[in-house]
């Protein structure tokens, strides 16, 4: 999608459809609808009186041959209650317009900006909403929804000019939303097409394209390095395990913190010998969403170039039952030296994260952030809407939550507490890999945290937010790219 500013008077915009929004109860006289010429607003007043135009959230009203405008169509998007405002709201309104319009065979639109100077944050949100909205997860359908993609979006100022900051914000929004969509593409792939090997290839292609350093360790290296926890999970699969390592360093950041991003990369989670029930097992192709999130983040920062030092690690493997698979009762030795009793082979995510975190510390990381589709328990607690945030470091947990709030991603601080530690004690090893049903997301997070040692660490459980079970007016059903925007914001706003 090409996105540009347009400075034509609104009445002369040449796009197929001009888009405005208005709030509930007074859609014709609020939001950007009030920027329309009197003649057009009179038309909207009529629709409002007849009850066709209410301004309720995401309502779309298409007017053909709108009086007073050169454009052949006018779309009014309902903005809901007047108190709803801000960039997060704007992002959704634009996404709604894009999805509505392309569903009607229109490929170009003009989004009318608020009058006066449009703040960079709003421009960025508009670009993000449009590009994320124009995504569909139907790449294996022969007749694709996404063939109806939007080619062109004009950001209509109605006159005047757009400054450098606005143009930069537009570019920033494009980079971030494309990174989010890249992450969604990876999560969307089924496990027969997204093996650890193909995930590593996709990472290498991305790194080559955007100038990142990328290294991939194979099975022998993983074993030789003594990553016993990662290896235990990998040993049951015929697909070779891969540890993907990406590096980004800004030349002025030689002394900055080395941030380690660790993403769970289970390309399919059958549960292993503690096999999952077959109902919904197909959803476990998404069990590499944490890894996909980190790859998306790296794609974005490679282009945005924040003053930061970042290494991303994605331990990638399948979790399979087989004659070679690890079994309940096994005791394994992790890279850290800590021994782990396996009580359930379906608690595999924490094992691959354990060794990847230890390795990140060996590489010198001074801050660790991991993301994982770690537990069903977080879905029970927070549903598909909110990501669970865990960690001992108040400072870094708050940083993550602050970034999430700034970019409109829903995240919630969940507790960690010494008192839960007893739950994952083992009678024969240092730790057990499960802590029982109660507080399952907390004990899983804390297990992972044991391998961060005294390094500040934040854990994001995205088991719920990785996927949207239903189509939203502004976003397709399927992979969400959760977390990408938050971490890009965090890495772009590090303390000096």
Helix ranges, 275-434 (H): 289-304, 349-362, 376-382, 394-407
Q: Which of 194, 347, 411, 448 binds ligand BES (CB under 6 A)?
A: 347
348 part of the interface to ligand BES, by CB under 6 A: yes
Rounded to a whole number of angstroms, the minimum distance from the CB of residue 266 to ligand BES is: 6
By rule CB under 5 A, what count of residues binds Zn ion? 4
* DSSP result, 148-209: G---EEEEE-SSS---HHHHHHHHHHHHHHHHHHHHHHHHHS-TTT--HHHHHHHHHHHHHH
Instruction: Choose between 337 and 436: whose C-beta lies nearer to ligand BES.
Output: 436
373 part of the interface to ligand BES, by CB under 6 A: yes
Binding partner selected for residue 434 from Zn ion, ligand BES, Mn ion, none, CB under the kind-specific 5 to 8 Å limit: ligand BES
Token pair of 45 as six digits: 């007043």
By rule CB under 6 A, what count of residues binds ligand BES? 17
| Cα 185-409-495 angle, rounded to 5 deg | 105
Helix ranges, 38-119 (H): 38-49, 87-102
Q: Which of 59, 239, 346, 355 binds Mn ion (CB under 5 A)?
A: 346
Rounded to a whole number of angstroms, the minimum distance from the CB of residue 319 to Zn ion is: 6
Rounded to a whole number of angstroms, the minimum distance from the CB of residue 464 to ligand BES is: 7
The residue to which tokens 């757009």 are assigned = 162
Instruction: Choose between 319 and 480: whose C-beta lies nearer to Zn ion.
Output: 319
> Which listed range, 200-208, 234-242, 283-291, 381-389, lies at the site for Zn ion (CB under 5 A)?
283-291
Which secondary structure element, helix H or strand E, spans residue 441, and what is its range?
A: helix 440-449
Taking CA atoms, 17 is separated from 43, 148, 229, in Å, by: 16, 15, 56
269 part of the interface to Zn ion, by CB under 5 A: yes
> Which listed range, 297-305, 348-356, 411-419, 456-464, lies at the site for Mn ion (CB under 5 A)?
348-356
Rounded to a whole number of angstroms, the minimum distance from the CB of residue 95 to ligand BES is: 25
Asked if 22 and 59 count as a contact pair (C-beta separation under 8 A), the reply is no
Rounded to a whole number of angstroms, the minimum distance from the CB of residue 352 to Zn ion is: 9
269 part of the interface to Mn ion, by CB under 5 A: yes
Q: Within a 10 A sphere around the Cβ of 380, how many other Cβ atoms?
A: 13
Centroid of chain to Cα 453: 27
Instruction: Choose between 121 and 328: whose C-beta lies nearer to ligand BES.
Output: 328
Token pair of 273 as six digits: 């010998």
Closest residue to Mn ion, based on beta-carbon distance: 346
Q: Within a 10 A sphere around the Cβ of 406, how many other Cβ atoms?
A: 16
Torsion sign over Cα 457, 463, 464, 466: positive
Token pair of 195 as six digits: 């093996």
453-472 residues in contact with ligand BES (CB under 6 A) are 463
Asked if 95 and 474 count as a contact pair (C-beta separation under 8 A), the reply is yes
> Which listed range, 173-181, 239-247, 341-349, 399-407, lies at the site for ligand BES (CB under 6 A)?
341-349
Q: Which of 311, 377, 445, 484 binds ligand BES (CB under 6 A)?
A: 377
Q: Within a 10 A sphere around the Cβ of 363, how many other Cβ atoms?
A: 13
Q: Which of 32, 235, 358, 375 binds ligand BES (CB under 6 A)?
A: 375
By rule CB under 5 A, what count of residues binds Mn ion? 3
287 part of the interface to Zn ion, by CB under 5 A: yes
Rounded to a whole number of angstroms, the minimum distance from the CB of residue 352 to Mn ion is: 10
Instruction: Give the whole-angstrom CA distance, residue 333 versus residue 358.
Output: 12
Query: Binding mask 310-349 vs Zn ion (x if CB under 5 A, - otherwise)?
Result: ---------------------------------------x
Which residues are designated catalytic?
276, 350
59 part of the interface to Mn ion, by CB under 5 A: no
Q: Which residues contact 214 (CB under 8 A, 6 or more apart)?
A: 203, 204, 207, 208, 244, 245, 246, 247
Residues that bind Mn ion (CB under 5 A): 269, 346, 348
Residues that bind Zn ion (CB under 5 A): 266, 269, 287, 349
Residues that bind ligand BES (CB under 6 A): 269, 283, 287, 344, 346-349, 373-377, 379, 434, 440, 463
């Amino acid at each position: 999608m090409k996105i540009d500013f347009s400075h034509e008077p609104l009445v002369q915009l040449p796009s197929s459809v001009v888009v405005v929004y208005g709030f509930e109860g007074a859609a014709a006289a609020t939001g950007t609808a009030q920027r329309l010429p009197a003649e057009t607003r009179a038309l909207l007043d009529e629709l409002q009186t007849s009850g066709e135009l209410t301004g309720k959230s995401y309502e779309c009203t298409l007017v053909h041959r709108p009086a007073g405008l050169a454009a052949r169509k006018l779309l009014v998007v309902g903005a809901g209650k007047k108190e709803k405002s801000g960039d997060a709201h704007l992002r959704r309104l634009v996404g709604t317009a894009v999805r509505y319009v392309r569903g009607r065979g229109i490929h170009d639109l003009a989004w009318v900006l608020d009058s006066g100077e449009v703040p960079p944050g709003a421009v960025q949100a508009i670009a993000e909403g449009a590009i994320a909205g124009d995504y569909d997860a139907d790449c294996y359908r022969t007749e694709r929804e996404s063939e109806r993609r939007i080619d062109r979006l004009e950001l209509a100022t109605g006159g005047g000019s757009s400054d450098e900051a606005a143009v930069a914000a537009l570019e920033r929004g494009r980079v971030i939303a494309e990174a989010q969509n890249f992450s969604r593409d990876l999560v969307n792939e089924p496990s027969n097409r997204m093996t650890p090997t193909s995930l590593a290839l996709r990472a290498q292609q991305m790194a080559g394209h955007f100038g990142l350093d990328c290294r991939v360790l194979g099975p022998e290296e993983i074993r030789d390095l003594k990553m016993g926890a990662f290896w235990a999970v990998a040993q049951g699969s015929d697909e070779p395990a891969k540890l993907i390592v990406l590096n980004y360093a800004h030349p002025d950041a030689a002394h900055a913190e080395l941030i380690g991003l660790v993403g769970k990369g289970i390309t399919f989670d059958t549960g292993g010998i503690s096999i999952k029930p077959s109902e919904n097992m197909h959803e476990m192709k998404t069990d590499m969403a944490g890894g996909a999130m980190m790859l998306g983040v790296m794609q974005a920062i490679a282009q945005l170039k924040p003053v930061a030092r970042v290494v991303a690690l994605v331990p990638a493997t399948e979790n399979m039952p087989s004659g070679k698979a690890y079994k309940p009762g096994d005791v394994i030795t992790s890279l850290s030296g800590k021994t782990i009793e396996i009580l359930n082979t379906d608690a595999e995510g924490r094992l691959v994260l354990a060794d990847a975190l230890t390795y990140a510390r060996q590489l010198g990381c001074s801050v660790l952030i991991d993301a994982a589709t770690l537990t069903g328990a977080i879905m029970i607690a927070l549903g598909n809407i909110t990501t669970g945030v865990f960690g001992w470091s108040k400072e870094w947990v708050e940083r993550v939550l602050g970034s999430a709030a700034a970019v409109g991603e829903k995240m919630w601080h969940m507790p960690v507490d010494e008192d839960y530690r007893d739950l994952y004690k083992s009678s024969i090893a240092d730790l057990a890999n499960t802590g029982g049903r109660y507080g399952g997301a907390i004990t899983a997070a804390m297990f992972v945290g044991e391998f961060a040692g005294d390094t500040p660490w934040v854990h994001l459980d995205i088991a719920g937010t990785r996927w949207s079970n239903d189509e939203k007016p502004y976003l397709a059903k399927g992979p969400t790219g959760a977390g990408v925007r938050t971490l890009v914001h965090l890495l772009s706003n590090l303390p000096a």
